[in-house]
Homo-oligomer: A and B are copies of this chain.
Amino acid sequence: MSANPLDSPPDRRTQILRASMICFAKRGFHQASMHDISAEAGISVGLIYRYFENKDAVISAMADEHKREIHDVLERARLAPTLLEAFEIIFTWDCSENSPQIVSAFVVDLFAEAGRNPRVADLVRDVARTAMEGVTDLIARSPEATNLPYDLQPCEITEMIFAVNDGILMRDVLTPNRTSAERRERQTQFARNLWRLLFSAKPEPALA
């Protein structure tokens, strides 16, 4: 087809996973057919099976991708100069893509699938655990958290953060028309509000 070495073996796996993400977000794991995926990827159905053993393997690979992405986000959050900025990175992790609603739809489906498919459940649990450990550590090492408000345990704070974060994501499937920028703006606001509630003794004068 093309002799361009840049796309010659266009990394089929990635190509298929990208198409799968779109289809899964649009129709759900089990409503998306292998034909949907192949059409979205612009390849034949059979070719998918050269790269994935079966449909479940595609789902698992997507979960793996998700895991990797969350790890990247955590890494970036760790490098942030302030805890507030780390919060902002974490709360907007799904807004870098062109179509953020794809990410939220996918993740909600991923959790739904985790409720039934043990292989997926293990993966998602693993992601959740690692992410929480990372954030707990982040907080523990940050100056803002030297004297935590009230008697909240660090892990309680982390749980609160992730609950808010996942709750936003879950509700996002209800407003699919928000642009990436709007979403980012909104989620940044959540990050700041939560940060203030948690670490700020007094209201900030002028942040937003």
Given A105-B112, A112-B109, A170-B111, A160–B25 Cβ distance below 8 Å? no
Q: Which residues of B contact A197 (CB under 8 A)?
A: 149-150, 160, 197-198
Q: Counting CB contacts under 8 A, is A27 at the interface?
A: yes
For A164, what are the chain B residues with a Cβ–Cβ distance below 8 Å?
A: 160, 163-164, 167
* Secondary structure class of chain A's binding surface, majority of residues: helix
Residues of A within 8 A of B (CB): 25-28, 30-31, 101, 104-105, 108-109, 111-116, 121, 124-125, 128, 149-152, 156, 159-160, 162-171, 173-174, 176, 189-190, 193-194, 196-198, 200, 202-204, 208
User: What chain B residues lie within 8 Å of A194 (beta carbons)?
Assistant: 160
Copies in the complex: 4
Residues of B within 8 A of A190 (CB): 159-160, 163
A187 to B109, CA, bound (A): 23
A173→B115 contact, CB < 8 A: yes
A161 to chain B, nearest CB (A): 9
Distance from A178 Cβ to chain B, minimum over Cβ atoms (Å): 13
**Given known A-B contacts A149-B203, A162-B167, A197-B198, A114 and B174 have beta carbons under 8 A apart:** yes
- Of B113, B151, B165, the residue contacting A203 (CB under 8 A) is B151
Q: Quick check: B116 and A26 within 8 Å, CB to CB?
A: yes
